[in-house]
Amino acid sequence: MKKLIYFTFIILFAFPSLAIDTKAGQAVVIDFDTNEVLFEKNSNEKVIPASMTKIMTIYVAFDRIKNTDFSISNKCTVSPTAYKMGGSRTFLEIDDQVSVDDLLKGIIVQSGNDASIALAECLGGTEKDFAKLMNVYAKRLEMNNTNFTNSSGWPEDNHYSTVYDIAILSNALIRDFPSLYSYFAMKEFSYNDINQPNRNKLLKKVEGADGLKTGFTKKSGWGIAATALRNNRRITVVINGTNSSRSRLNESSNLINWAFNQTSQKILVEESQLIKSIDVWLGAEAKVNLISPKKILSTLSYDQIQLMKSSIEYTKPISAPIIEGKEYAKLFIDIEGKSRIEVPLVAEKNISKVNPLFKIIAAAKYLLFGSSLNEN
């Protein structure tokens, strides 16, 4: 039969309830470590990603740098197509031999459309072929509502994404290329004797901000993929559809600060933590320790709950032999507003069967007196 044991964790922190909203048309806030969505607004609505597209251009370049002989010291030739591109620019000149290092800085800091095309052509032959490669990476990252047709984010039919997909991409870039990610924290860059500040004003305004990329079109409004690191905890925010550069700054900084101030990462279960000792029937030892094989980390909103409920479920009696690492029970953790967390509980060590004579005696006791499996 199934035996359910209920116990309760009292969370030793109590925080005031505080809701959050945003004037942005689309928004998502994600805890980088737990990958939990802390807030969202129209996060799967298709939008024009504008220059946030360049995050994928950089992702592809970083991947080539990390995994091939393509280097930041490589030189790329500036084509007439790249030179003539409108919008924000790094001010490249036709036939310039520009290092990949400078192109990366031109894209990330100056949002140079010319630099984006020059890098795309250097890696893909043509920008259109490079866009096909971008879509291969998007599919690999499970950006299921995204399609790219160019490297810069210039508005085109069938060029779209969502703030949720851009958040997936942003976190993947941070996670996959830690040694290259510092490019995004550069506050300014000079090329061709023209100095330009980073368009991401959060770098100077928000504690811990170290990336990623702004975007703007008249049709879609002002957007940003932003992230900040405080006390080894990272929050990623992507918004779109604000009505000004100032609003973009205010809305993104408000969401970042809210996430840090009103949510907290909590270890619900440690790896190898003893959860329950249960009796073993016909075992060489009377009890077996059940442990969690993994750490469970969750981000808890202070305005969600102050109480978690947990239960353990297993089928009794648990009979020897007991095999180390085998699942014998499940731990369920219920938190209001979140999906139920299910944790397998495994045996800490092997426990062998007892000899046949003891089996007979134990069986008789079980029949006469019932289970000796005392649950506390």
Q: Which helix (H) or strand (E) holds 274?
A: strand 274-279
Question: pLDDT at position 363, please?
Answer: 66
* Secondary-structure class of domain 2-12+267-369 per CATH: mainly beta
DSSP for 137-190, written as a single string: HHHHTT-TT-B-S-SS----TT-BB-HHHHHHHHHHHHHH-TTTGGGGG--EEE
Catalytic residue among 43, 51, 151, 252: 51
Beta bridge partners of 58: none
Question: pLDDT at position 182, please?
Answer: 95
Catalytic residue among 43, 79, 88, 111: 111
Contact 222, 248 (CB under 8 A): yes
CA distance 243 to 224: 12
CA distance 228 to 7: 37
Question: pLDDT at position 366, please?
Answer: 65
> pLDDT below 50 — which residues of the chain?
1-18, 372-376
Instruction: Report the amino acid identity of residue 215.
Output: G
Catalytic residue among 41, 54, 213, 276: 54
- Catalytic, 152? Answer no
First to last CA, the chain: 18
Tell me the pTM. Answer: 0.80
Question: pLDDT at position 209, please?
Answer: 97
13-39: pLDDT as tens digits: 333 334 789 999 999 999 999 999 999
CA distance 94 to 80: 6
Fold adopted by 26-242: Beta-lactamase (3.40.710)
DSSP for 85-129, written as a single string: --SS-----TT-EEEHHHHHHHHHTT--HHHHHHHHHHHHSSHHH
- Catalytic, 309? Answer no
Q: Where are the domains of the chain?
A: 2-12+267-369, 26-242
CA distance 281 to 321: 9
- Catalytic, 294? Answer no
Which residues lie below 8 Å from residue 325, measured CB to CB, with a gap of 6+?
A: 293, 346, 347
Question: pLDDT at position 309, please?
Answer: 82
CA distance 354 to 319: 11
C-alpha dihedral over 228, 233, 238, 242, to 10 degrees? Answer: -60
304-343: pLDDT as tens digits: 656 678 899 988 888 899 999 999 999 998 887 778 889 9
